[in-house]
Structure 1
Amino acid sequence: MNSQLPAAIGTPLDRIDGPLKVTGGARYAAEYRAEGLLHGAVVSSSITLGRILAIDSNAASAIPGVHWVMTHLNRPPLAADDDSYEDQDSADGSSFRPLFNDRVLYNGQPVALVIADDLETARHAAALVRVEYESRPHSTDLRKNQAEAIPAPAEPPGPRGDADGALCSAPVRIEAEYELPVEHHNPMESHASTVIFQSDGSLLVHDKTQGAQNSQSYLCQILKLEPSRVRVQAAFVGGAFGSGLRPQYQLPLAAMAAIKLKRSVRVVLTRQQQFTFGYRPRTVQRLTLGADETGRLLGLVHQVTGQTSRFEQFTAHVAQWSGMLYRCDNVRLTYRLVPLDVYTPLDMRAPGAAEGVHALECAMDELAWAAGINPLHLRLINFTDTNQNLGKPYSSKALRDCYSEGARQFGWPTQMPEPGTLREGDQRIGLGMATGVWEALQMPASASAALAVDGSVVVASATTDIGTGTYTAMTQIAAEALGLPPEKVRFVLGDSSLPKAPLQGGSFTVSSVGSAVREACLALRQNLLDAARQLPSSPFQHFSDDQVQCSDGRLQAKTAEHRVGFVELFQRYGSLRASATAHPSALRQRYATATHSAVFVEVAVDEALGTVRVRRVVSAIAAGRVVNPKTARSQIIGGVIWGVSMALHEASLMDHRLGRFMNHNLAEYHLPVQADIGDIRVLFVDEPDPVVNPLGSKGVGEIGIVGVAAAVANAVYHATGKRIRELPITLDKLL
């Protein structure tokens, strides 16, 4: 059966959830009400390392409206005393447990929770809690502690060939070190949990999360609760970028308080407290590249040093991209971690790739200028159809098309002017480019589809929508599979009671959940046909599956006038349902799968002030079949803006004497505003891929940021002749 409607996939459909968001109809975790709702305020540690000697909460408890001050001394039991639990995005080691004992592991750690009738009272009382500490010397500086580095548990691919030997004899060679700072996610919606204590003692939790089922599993494990007693919902999430992959500490704090008091409790973290959990870790990367006179890579060494906490070993794929993006037979990749007295880092948009590809693409630019080769041509010379880390061909790789079409629309010169020679008045003009890459994954996922009384279809999966357009994309996938207009499909998500879905991250939601939605809708379509064949004197008994199509809410024979509407089938049989679980196909195992991009940037650098303005960006993307070009374009634009921010603005600055982030607010944590962003042009190249998943879609959430900061840095070099290898590129470094 095939739909004769125009394909819903590939149509630039407006966001399904748009009207709710712009009218205030969408409710977020801190906006749900409950009778007798109490509010919690977290007390954060003022030391970095040591232990708590005493907590004086008398003044706080005396405030009218304060119900309880929870500490490690009086909290409900935590089941995780044996470190036996983990969440879907946990790192190796012992996960942090709030209010577990008297130990202080990092600055800003929660040491108490004040519960009161309203938020203002809770925060006032929290300021009156006095904590006496025994402080110990701490270490928080990656640079000063590199000698303590240990091998990362997730080692990069092993060496191939003789990288050191090839580099020694290479006619053209560059060696450079690149440093990237700590960055914090800073989504618009602060982390919050509203735990509604219900009459039967069960918990209905509204949590800011990228996985409702992950939050449910976490609570059940650490509080020894049956899954049937905990339901987590996250219908709307105001941005996350990875900060919601792991349950943050406001969730167990709110749940413990609700269980103890048998009342509904809400805990919302302040903007400052958003800086007291995961972040993009600081990295120092050393790259050595060698090439022959034509620019062909002969050897490559990429050494990464990153930071982690004392209690977990956080790892990301930082170095592996250098072994797969270009053709090179002699490669050595290393990845080491420095344990520090900080909280554990956390995945942040394109984790690992945003850092590792940045260093690689800056080094490639340096190699291009050292060899006297156009930076774009150098990348074409070293193009590969094979992922050499895996020894597998790519299922598709339209990167050449990204290069050619991106360069054409940008106006990339065939002959590059020398660095520092392009000027417009007092502005130095520079051009830069970089390649982007991200893995195209698929995870097991489930979905259900049910026919409604009006002939519409309700499709459901436990996935979330952190602003990526999941509601809309899944609606389009279901509409195409069932031959329905999108307005006749309702997609339900963000509920732990729905069919199982992976965390939303890694650009695999469309690939994973979308494939499950498609399978569930195809199964429902088959059920509809089977039901139609059971109708009295049904003509559909005489037609095979291939001779019947779904179109505009009806089953219709292709070669005859026989038809039956979904509404009639509902009236006859009630709600017909189907469910499905989609798994990666065995065919994928024979291939490497990835998205790719080519980013072209023009900057203007003020000669007197050293200020940098990104005037225009062209981002060309190869991401398989794009489900919704409109929302996908927005995803890439957001990634480009973040890449510009990464290059020129963002850094979490720590006073290492205190072990505390100093700019822990949106006034001093610099982000770009409208005036900082020039013209951004996004284009998607055609990239059919029957291997990656049945939809042929690779996802676009991560790829938008990868390579952008490198392209900006390379453009700044071209404008000024000065190479800045430490981000962000600020005017003091240029001057």
Structure 2
Amino acid sequence: MQFSAQSNADKPTNSAIGKPMDRTDGRLKVTGAARYAAEFPMKNLAHAVVVRSTIARGRIQSIDTSAAEKSPGVLAVITHLNAPKLATTDPPEVSDRYIKVIPVLQNDRINHYGQHVGLVVAETFEQAEYAATLVRVAYTQERPVLEFAANLDRAYAPERINAGYPTDTQQGDLEQGLSAADVRIDVTYTTPIEHNNPIEPHATIAVWEGDRLTLYNSTQHVDANQTSVASTLRIPKQNVRVVCPYVGGGFGSKVPTREHVILAAIAAKQIGRPVKVVLSRAQMFTCVGHRPHSQQRLRLGAKRDGRLTAFAHESIMETAVFDEFAEQNGVMSRIMYECPNSLVTHRIVPLNLDRSMIMRAPGEAPGSFALESAMDELAYALKIDPIELRVRNEPPRDPESGLPWSSRSLVQCFREGAKRFGWEKRLAEPGSMREGRYLTGYGVASASFPARLRPSSAIVRVLPDGRVQVHTGATDLGTGTYTVLTQVAADALGVPPERVQVEIGDSNFPPTPASGGSFGAASFCTAVQEACIAVRQRLAALARDDANSPLRGANQEAIAAADGRLFTKGQPARGESYVAIMQRHNLAQGVEVRVDSKPDDAAQKFSMHAFGAHFAQVLVDPNTGVIKIPRFLCVIAAGRILNPKTARSQIVGGVVWGISMALHEETLLDARYGNYINGNLGEYHVSVNADIPDIDTVFIEENDPHVNPLGIKGIGEIGIVGAAAAVANAIYHATGKRIRDLPITPDKLL
């Protein structure tokens, strides 16, 4: 017997999906009852502080830990001289870069400033912090390779770029396409190093009970943590448990397992007590990843009518000498616009910096700044409205794969956005619009992000009293995972949301993919829905075969669920509650089903993406160059929206980051020593309340039957994609000055 998801026509009017439901974990968070990684109470807890390298390249000549070891409260000082031997190679079955081994403190080699060279463990955090300053490290220094521009001749093509995309793609003949163009542009854009900086710092508490390890860790992927730690420590995977019910932001930095997690486990084993490690904000600038500096050359050619004849996006970025990572800056360019002749390439320059890594919308965020700025420049060169130029190059199919779109509502986003924003009031000439003493301008940009689905598992249990429990290993970054899983389970089983209890963030629960890549909600919710349907199926089977049930012999396709009961469609009185079915069959433990959900082959048949359009208005003071943003509109087409309230929150968060990317964020490198000059939140500028307008968010209604059974697309990252370009384009429209290097600060406009 099989149940399919209910169609909209079959759904009860009190459906939870699609409603702006408050966060189910909201009260716990505002009252402080939600425990984050560093907040779990432990008896006999010790504290540890990381000791960092003060050079960028070389070797450790000697380490003197004697003063630290004699310092009050110190329990242990761990360095490469006394650390246990860890695994240094990945198990043969591991291919995912995010679940690799982490061989920390295994040799004397220094590859970047701030590298972990030791750990001090003490009774209190203050004692550990002070003792860490007493560790004396002598180095044999080597000249570090630090300057990006000076080392472009060392750039090379990686075998693959992030997320498994091909490094280079080419279609048609680029030079022929450029020659055939009536108008050509050849421009280069740069984006700086940026850091993730989640509010909750990276933190871990490690607890050993015999040969079993429990980690309370702030992570976006409990299952990857479990695998990496077990592989690194050479212990069975089932001997490691990772617990993470709440995450205070991660933005990609908490997907891989970090070195401090292994250090916490080593220290706890050595002293025989629980150990807590919480990285400082300064440490988070040098050891948990960052978005790499990029240089992107765009060459575009078009006919007078705006039709593209040639398109090239060539990206170069930095990577760590010890851990290759290439951000996929050009992947959005491969699918956005129709063009017969195209080239997209990626190159990386190895430097003695901490590892570059995934950061919210990796690739699409910096790539969209270059792509959508270049499209804006082409529009002005052609004297065509920037929206119209994009519409004229709208591809009927995916230009890269040739697959049909599962759905693509970009043009609808532009049309709706233009109407709401008042785009018709825009004067075409740059620098021609004013509001009082300010120059004002309108900017627009496209947004896109893949709609992915990953294998995911869940357990759903209907208890004897009719309450529902959902267990899955997913994590909640603060985006509303608890809430949308509650809504999906409530609808699939036909129970009120308040009767659903969701428990997540524990490697003891069924595995899921990471909360990242904008595939979290689609993957988790699909598994939960399938498990709920399987529970309904089991309960319905009991009723249909039961002579005492009103549903005896009912057609399986005619059975629906609502209000905690099963009934026949069109005859709501013919039915009974889950409680009644379980009582009659003596199911004292309720009914439980585990589902291991796997995507079908739709991704091989359709190109699946969410799309959107950003609209920004800026005010620029012509005397000071100070930029203000009075209005911002984001129009998104992302399939079915599970919860408009939490969805809007995600989009607004992405836009805020996009504005910050455009105007503020930049990590400054001291090229003499390899450290970051502004490695703290006092000097690393981010947008604050005064910088952010009321962000209007609109969701276009979109029915996509192919992406997954629920028809949903991820929205965690699309909000930042294109947002920086919309701001930059608005600044050009206001001032006539094209700034191609982020961030756009007042000095660049004067």
2:736 is the counterpart of 1:721: yes
Whole-angstrom CA distance in 2 between matches of 1:481 and 1:428: 53
Structure 1 SS opposite 2:332: helix
1:230 aligned partner: 240
- Higher mean displacement: 277-286 or 557-566: 557-566
2:265 aligned partner: 255
1:343 offset after TM fit, Å?
A: 1.8
Structure 1 SS opposite 2:229: helix
* Kept in 2: contact 1:639–1:703 (CA 8 A): yes
2:223 is the counterpart of 1:217: no
Partner deviation per Cα, 1:511-568 (whole Å, 9 max, x = no partner): 1111111100000011111222354522322211122221111122332633322223
Partner deviation per Cα, 1:623-649 (whole Å, 9 max, x = no partner): 000111110000000000000000000
1:204 aligned partner: 214
Say which of 67, 71, 76 aligns to 2:75.
67
2:587 is the counterpart of 1:573: yes
Say which of 29, 34, 45 aligns to 1:21.
29
Say which of 370, 386, 402 aligns to 1:375.
386
2:460 is the counterpart of 1:449: yes
2:516 is the counterpart of 1:505: yes
Structure 1 SS opposite 2:126: helix
1:142 aligned partner: 148
Say which of 126, 133, 149 aligns to 2:132.
126
Whole-angstrom CA distance in 2 between matches of 1:85 and 1:587: 26
Whole-angstrom CA distance in 2 between matches of 1:43 and 1:455: 53
Structure 2 SS opposite 1:561: strand
2:553 is the counterpart of 1:554: no
For 1:328-407, list aligned pairs within 5 A.
328-407=339-418
1:691 aligned partner: 706
For 1:51-130, list aligned pairs within 5 A.
51-80=59-88, 88-90=96-98, 97-130=103-136
2:7 aligned partner: none
Q: Which amino acid in 1 is paired with 2:138? A: E
1:209 offset after TM fit, Å?
A: 0.5
For 1:583-732, list aligned pairs within 5 A.
583-732=598-747
2:50 is the counterpart of 1:36: no
Whole-angstrom CA distance in 2 between matches of 1:128 and 1:67: 14
1:85 offset after TM fit, Å?
A: 8.7
1:4 offset after TM fit, Å?
A: 2.5
* Kept in 1: contact 2:620–2:731 (CA 8 A): yes
Partner deviation per Cα, 1:350-408 (whole Å, 9 max, x = no partner): 10000111101000000000000111111111111211111111110011110000111
2:254 is the counterpart of 1:244: yes
1:613 offset after TM fit, Å?
A: 0.9
Partner deviation per Cα, 1:112-137 (whole Å, 9 max, x = no partner): 10000110100010011110111100
Q: Which amino acid in 2 is paired with 1:31? A: E
* Kept in 1: contact 2:155–2:347 (CA 8 A): yes
Whole-angstrom CA distance in 1 between matches of 2:156 and 2:505: 39
Say which of 375, 399, 408 aligns to 2:419.
408
Change in CA separation of 1:365 and 1:498 when aligned onto 2, cut-off 3 Å: same
Q: Which amino acid in 1 is paired with 2:609? A: A
2:499 is the counterpart of 1:488: yes
Change in CA separation of 1:480 and 1:389 when aligned onto 2, cut-off 3 Å: same
* Kept in 1: contact 2:101–2:232 (CA 8 A): no
1:291 aligned partner: 302
Change in CA separation of 1:87 and 1:242 when aligned onto 2, cut-off 3 Å: farther
Structure 2 SS opposite 1:138: coil
* Kept in 1: contact 2:20–2:645 (CA 8 A): yes
- Structural RMSD (CA): 1.6
* Kept in 2: contact 1:374–1:414 (CA 8 A): no
* Kept in 2: contact 1:426–1:608 (CA 8 A): no
Structure 2 SS opposite 1:24: coil
Q: Which amino acid in 2 is paired with 1:634? A: S
1:679 offset after TM fit, Å?
A: 2.0
Structure 1 SS opposite 2:658: helix
- Higher mean displacement: 94-103 or 280-289: 94-103
- Higher mean displacement: 339-348 or 644-653: 339-348
Partner deviation per Cα, 1:411-433 (whole Å, 9 max, x = no partner): 11276331011112321101100
TM-score, normalised with respect to structure 1: 0.97
Change in CA separation of 1:538 and 1:82 when aligned onto 2, cut-off 3 Å: closer
2:438 is the counterpart of 1:438: no
Aligned residues: percent identity? 45
2:536 aligned partner: 525
* Kept in 1: contact 2:546–2:552 (CA 8 A): no
* Kept in 1: contact 2:550–2:576 (CA 8 A): no
1:465 offset after TM fit, Å?
A: 0.4
Q: Which amino acid in 1 is paired with 2:203? A: A
* Kept in 2: contact 1:304–1:319 (CA 8 A): yes
- Higher mean displacement: 160-169 or 663-672: 160-169
- Higher mean displacement: 454-463 or 179-188: 454-463
TM-score, normalised with respect to structure 2: 0.95
Whole-angstrom CA distance in 2 between matches of 1:302 and 1:124: 50
Whole-angstrom CA distance in 2 between matches of 1:110 and 1:415: 53
Q: Which amino acid in 2 is paired with 1:644? A: I
- Higher mean displacement: 522-531 or 563-572: 563-572
* Kept in 1: contact 2:183–2:382 (CA 8 A): yes
- Higher mean displacement: 9-18 or 524-533: 524-533
* Kept in 2: contact 1:28–1:237 (CA 8 A): yes
2:580 is the counterpart of 1:563: no
- Higher mean displacement: 393-402 or 416-425: 416-425
